[in-house]
Structure 1
């Protein structure tokens, strides 16, 4: 009986992975651990294809696509003085995560200032599967726990969706992760929607995206150093660009040129003030 169930689970899992599916998660998180009454909410997308998955912010992805289209349109017209006045990015979650099947190797894409990083993360989650079950979004789910990136996590997975994936970098359970939260309830992902993607859908890796500056590839250990270096000096890359002769022009609402040095000082102060409040990253061990 057990062997028959295993074969059924394997075959149904292969069938499920052969389809391209989109899972929408609601992500609730607290940026500042001291501001207990302020919780951010963002819709996140987990796209699964036979070759892998991609996890990203719905709003930020749409804004980035609009920005890319605007750049291409202005470039085709011969305009090199790009004008983005009035354009505002939506979405506060700027990272994305890609997992390649069947190994579930993880690539994490993020930015620090003007630098864009690809972080090759070789860590895995050592799950402890528990007997407790709970109904989450019409699914009968089972409980599992792990310690990952400085936090203790509780996940609820369902074998009704037999694929070993989930939001963010989480994977490795015998079914889709429907809900996962840290023990302090400051980071929570919960499944809210599922739809089948067209057979022609085939997402491209973010590493193949056209970009002006080279993508910096690191492992998670070296990224931790870059992360803390940025927190200590968030304007370093901008100063290096200016030292190389790159001219960054800014204009106020009236169209008047803004003094670059004054603007840099004001921006640096704003960034340092913001960084102080960003004391509760999803990977808490980045700060240790």
Structure 2
């Protein structure tokens, strides 16, 4: 009886609390030819009453540092702002948002110089199995599904009555505390939870202003993707097309900007020496080709199949 009462109290906390942050460890193999090289990144799943957001802690921290540095320069009266960004630590540059009221899931991603909000229209068909296992501190039950060209095994906890999980996974009668693909090249496991304060637009953006108060530039910080009002909403078919265009022509955005009237672009190498546009484009294309070779084991592996 005491155990039953404790469960209902615990469940009520999660149902009534509006801001729960679940912390997952995401282990992934980017290069299928080097399966022993496993990257790890801590991810946040922020759940509120009407929505959730899954994103990289590392990217969030980097952007918070960038915002603090920017604010420091503003207070010092700097006129030419030096905006530094170190992408080396945070590898997961996308986020996933879920709208509970509309029952919609979105991939939020940047391609070139634009931010996109991609509607996920595929339905997760779960098969709930009788097997149970303890995952960390949680008693969990097994479920399987297929998504993104992979077979997935999930473990969900009914004691946490939230029908959500990391990435695009949702729809089970309890929070997903662990999920992995068949060859364990993508594994997400719950490591802890906490509360968080709801963010505001003010702490997600910093407006760089001149002395007379006119806004000259808005630098978006906080989660690496910008304000939702700047996102272009597209369907998955359009996203796949843009994904391949960027993968095969990574300098496309530079070429397009250079062609705009009144736009003058200057490039420098790592030593600070001037570079021509053609040299910059070649470097970008060569770097992308090498990156493509290494990044061949995407979480949605079917993206690499143009016919799908």
Cα offset, 1:238, TM superposition: 1.2
CA distance 1:247–1:276, change in 2 (3 Å): farther
**Is residue 2:194 matched to residue 1:178?**
no
CA distance 1:235–1:256, change in 2 (3 Å): closer
TM-score, with length taken from structure 2: 0.80
Hey, what does 1:17 align to over in structure 2?
15
Distance in 2, Cα, partners of 1:127 & 1:42: 26
CA distance 1:230–1:246, change in 2 (3 Å): same
Distance in 1, Cα, partners of 2:110 & 2:30: 17
CA distance 1:107–1:68, change in 2 (3 Å): farther
Contact 1:158 1:175 in 2 (8 A): yes
Uncovered stretches (5+) of structure 1, i.e. residues with no partner: none
Hey, what does 1:285 align to over in structure 2?
302
Give the secondary structure class of the aligned counterpart of 2:275. coil
Hey, what does 2:220 align to over in structure 1?
none
TM-score, with length taken from structure 1: 0.85
Cα offset, 1:233, TM superposition: 1.2
Contact 2:135 2:178 in 1 (8 A): yes
Residues 42-76 of structure 1: per-residue CA shift (max 9 Å, x gap): 00000111121110000111212333454566578
**Is residue 2:269 matched to residue 1:223?**
no
Hey, what does 2:125 align to over in structure 1?
126
**Is residue 2:265 matched to residue 1:265?**
no
Distance in 2, Cα, partners of 1:189 & 1:74: 38
Structure 1's consecutive aligned runs of 4 or more residues displaced over 6 angstroms after TM superposition are 203-208
Contact 1:17 1:48 in 2 (8 A): no
Contact 1:234 1:272 in 2 (8 A): no
Cα offset, 1:133, TM superposition: 0.5
CA distance 1:49–1:174, change in 2 (3 Å): same
Cα offset, 1:253, TM superposition: 5.2
CA distance 1:177–1:277, change in 2 (3 Å): same
Question: Superposition pairs for residues 1-288 of structure 1, below 5 Å?
Answer: 16-19=14-17, 20-71=19-70, 77=77, 79=79, 81-84=80-83, 87-89=85-87, 90-198=89-197, 201-202=198-199, 209-210=226-227, 214-244=230-260, 245-252=262-269, 255-288=272-305
Cα offset, 1:218, TM superposition: 0.8
Distance in 2, Cα, partners of 1:217 & 1:175: 29
